[in-house]
Amino acid sequence: MRNATELLADYAAYHRDRRNIATHLVGVPMIVFAVCILLSRPGFELAGFALSPAWLVLAASALWYLTRGALPLGVATTAIMVAMVVAAGSIAAAGTATWLGTGIGLFVAGWVIQFVGHHYEGRKPAFVDDLTGLMIGPMFVVAEVMFALGWNRPLLAEVERRAGPTHLRDLGAART
């Protein structure tokens, strides 16, 4: 089982261009929220609790995030996803057109933003080589925000030691 340091360093290797990281700060939350919206139907009750597939996926995801060895990061990622599932339930309850239009629209727009970022990076998305990248993406975004706020400088240093520093890639030089 890979820990947060290994996962973040592996994922970061595909995300060293600052513009790509910036697009991930927008696109990944859009995609995650879209999935939460789309999985918020159908609703059902279990032992008196109102649930949906989104809550079940959240429970499995939370278990995964919380067992990667960086508990504050796992808690932060899980807390953000709980907020997304709660908000998604409201959108799903607004009606079929709103549910599907918002969910599909955010999903498509989020992926377009992601692929624009990978154009800047000049490298394919991490999930192409390892499907775990789909789980690491949200954790990576939360970690980037937490790093920017000064959290866990040693983890950031180790990720950059393994993946290299961030940069701005010169697209003109890359084309020649």
Per residue in 60-97, pLDDT (tens digit) is 999 999 999 999 999 999 999 999 999 999 999 999 99
Q: Which residue has the higher pLDDT, 98 or 132?
A: 98
Per residue in 140-158, pLDDT (tens digit) is 999 999 999 999 999 999 9
Asked whether the predicted pLDDT for residue 131 surpasses 90, the reply is no
Asked whether the predicted pLDDT for residue 175 surpasses 60, the reply is no
pTM of the model: 0.92
pLDDT band at 176 (very low <50, low <70, confident <90, very high): very low
Dihedral pair phi/psi, residue 150, rounded to 5°:
100, 5
Q: What is d(CA 5, CA 74) in angstroms, rounded to the nearest whole number?
A: 12
